[in-house]
Homo-oligomer: A and B are copies of this chain.
Amino acid sequence: MLQERLNWRYATKKMDPSKSVPEEKVEAILEAIRLAPTSSGLQPFEVIVVTDPEVRAKLKDAAFDQEQLVDGSHLLVFAAWDNYTEARIDGVVTETGKARGGVTEALTGYYDRLKGMYLPRPEEVNFEHAARQAYIGLGLALTAAAFEEVDSTPMEGFEPEKFDEILGLRERGLRSVAIMPLGYRDAEGDWLNGQAKVRRDADKFITRIDAA
């Protein structure tokens, strides 16, 4: 089931600009991203969903003119926290307390130890850690899109500083790390459609360490 969906999907190179992804499918994809687990439950990223054609045109200029940004109907921008802060970690403690019937000593103890580890670290180390968590979300997003029979293109080929500028991310403590247009493939116009999927053979990808 999952495997079949993963084989169906591919990094769509040409989308049909006449087709729009229904909002309920976009919602399902966003919900999968929101459910993605992250380190210590921090969810250290946000998702910006851009449909505005003018904004997407500007973003396309900052993404090496890749047409999927405007030919798709929705553009997802994954924006990681620029750093960990006391307030952000306290927010997680509060939310956890709310969901699980109160802020316990074990809960605050855990996150106090986390603060002790994360807050003294260089901002760039914390950002990289947050970015990795955003990539779990990216994995969920592309999987969810495949389940919704929506085409998508996970992309790093864009200029993050320009995206941050256009979307006003830095003042919100966010930095764009990956983007994903959603839309429907232009089956005729996409050179990659129908091409074999390329993956290393399992024996070059997986090592087993079993008891002798």
Contact = CB atoms under 8 A, between A and B. Distances in A.
A37 B154 contact: yes
Interface in A37-75: 37, 39, 41, 43, 46-55
B198 A50 contact: no
Contacts of A208: 49, 51
A47 B206 contact: yes
Nearest to A178: B132
A212 B55 CA distance: 11
Contact of A139 (B51, B96, B137, B177): B137
A35 B198 contact: no
A3 interface: yes
A18 interface: no
A9 B37 CA distance: 10
Contacts of A46: 205-207
Given A50-B209, A135-B139, A100 B198 contact: yes
Given A147-B2, A199-B43, A207-B48, A35 B54 contact: no
A97 to B, nearest CB: 9
A149 interface: no
Given A143-B140, A195-B100, A54 B205 contact: no
Interface string A139-176: 11011100100000010100000000001000000000
Interface of A: 1-3, 6-7, 9, 11, 28, 30-32, 34-37, 39, 41, 43, 46-55, 91-92, 95-96, 99-100, 128, 131-133, 135-140, 142-144, 147, 154, 156, 167, 177, 195-200, 202, 205-212
In the A-B complex, list the 3 residue pairs whose CB atoms are closest, starting with the nearest: A139-B139, A135-B135, A6-B35
